[in-house]
Structure 1
């Protein structure tokens, strides 16, 4: 390792994260045995206008780069210069990915081992208030001239890296960083590798937090650690910005995917994290109704704005409604034509459902067909009943439950399997009441329509009690 060469690199760019970002200036200083053996610096024509805020930050403007070479004209030289070198930068994820993106556009596959001086200095010079290059140089007395210019920032990074080499003369820490499992190379600069190993391979919600603990992003996962790692590997500009601002990640176990979905929706509405997509107010729902047509056949229909005598269910997208109608059509041997799945046809010829009761052709009496519809309605009514959905808990000794009050999400809880219930109201001791919302309602509907084998325990709410008292048994 002591024979290794290090390419300390800094780039100035047109801004906008890592994806599609163009280099306006690059500096490379090659070190061997801690000493400079080569250097390359050049302005680069980005092939686009430089934004005003970038010009104010770096001092590089369109006039300065108009006669500069494009990156593809420099690619071979940079590739040769850095060959067999370890790519070193302060916050290496940014510089490496921008340089690699430029090489990709030039038709060259650029791959180097990489080392981050942010993570390295945190390990070797712990306890500093800030590890940004400017603040770090001030803290440990490193001269830093021409800030936000490639050569000035590279020279400061070289001195910082030389200090790290002095603190790690046997290259023990550097070897450790270079030989770590590849996943650690994706970690955000402010995130501790040890904290990642504490993330569980279990279902729940997770929180990306800034340096004061404010949630920046909230997500859900069946496997929290695996999902968090996938965020680290994403290359979008928005995700890069999120990771640069992330200082810690914590989590809340839910036991089940459904509860994770519900908690995610609730917590996003509570905290409005910067990097979560805004939850827009859902449009007016599609309502499922039924009526008797001229042949006396009970027929299903969807409506949005009409007032109907009965309304069995509601859906927030037409796709969800159609999927549910297809399900009950097949499950109860009904006609697609009379389930609102086909219009303007005399007989069913649905592209997906190839079974037909024959009522549309007159092969089945209305009374017989309506009896099937009655069974379908009994099935639909189960969606409007108060019940507990019982699923896996946070550990093997526990179960989780989700309380649906008249089919709508109203709370959740966790129950140890050793608990005994002598009174119906004992369930309330474990209930975390929640306000329902259109989002939660939609999540529950979709989950029940697509997932099989869910344990549903009907509940009877006493009419005389002012509290939520249920009759149910976990078995």
Structure 2
């Protein structure tokens, strides 16, 4: 590879950090390899993060609190790091991780930082699409890269990137490698009113985002497992089919620990902001359910307001739904009446009989005649319960609030749920008491459907929370 130099100066970057979140966590080591027409230069330093290094991170990197004690703070090396990065293509593996950390470290010092970024994960996928894995360990094994030093140390991993570029230029024509790099670093065509700097901090992490127009009017809410990818996708081939993109003036994004967190964020933003250009679902202005009440041995559906329900008793109380409106509730009964041969008068879909009228309009036909005593109440009850079984309102299966953990060990979050209502997400158990004492949001049918699906997938792998303290126990 000694004969190949990318036409632009580049710097290979690797960082070690106290965690995965660039807004909260800090840098513990920096490794840089500068490459230009004058050759190659290596530079690295440990960094005192000013906070304890979690045990998991210590085991992963081998960097502990004792090693960084006495090392410079980032503020002390910021000028030198900026000088080494300035004017160079920023190359890293999972590049948005390293770029995001450095950008936030500079931001804390009031210093701007911007660079064109190349991710070697994406470069590997582009050049070697036949392979499934593209993490650094896979590249080491696949290309026979030489690990000189400890893995998960900054300069060692930066050296591996240099070796990977060498392998790529041996396996592919130089023009092909350079074309792939040019394609991966091409900047999207943004709306004229959107500051390109608004995209610079976008991480490659799950979350939800909001496009805003004039006067911060919410235009669109979206979510993606990769925030950067999700936002940039709007400015690609689909841009011509979305004329409202030209009205974008601002962008905000909210990170989540995983897909569930992103979906919860998206739902909350959609309901709170009512953006102009999201597809509008059915409004839920008349949330209701059916409750079967016994009259002379016959089970009869009675409409109830969801707000009046005890969610721990919905199964015992024979409750079905919920429905966004009375019309939707009636449509279900109407749909079930014919195939299950139910009496429409018993279901409340037909008015009470006039004097002298023996039975319902379908009596003896689609109705088996419970309305005139031709079949027993028990037989009709059994068919009605069978018909409604798939629409049963799921009871809350826990004695109180629960937490649904999500995210890696060093950055796990707890989504707190109580009786099908999403209360919020906490990063620290100490935050639980305050959250559990905040005013309870109203029941929402969309959150209910999402959370019901999530609990079915998780089984009982949840954290049952004590209501008076922040202590918790796991059920499995």
Please give the TM-score of this superposition, normalised by the length of structure 1.
Answer: 0.45
Please give the TM-score of this superposition, normalised by the length of structure 2.
Answer: 0.45
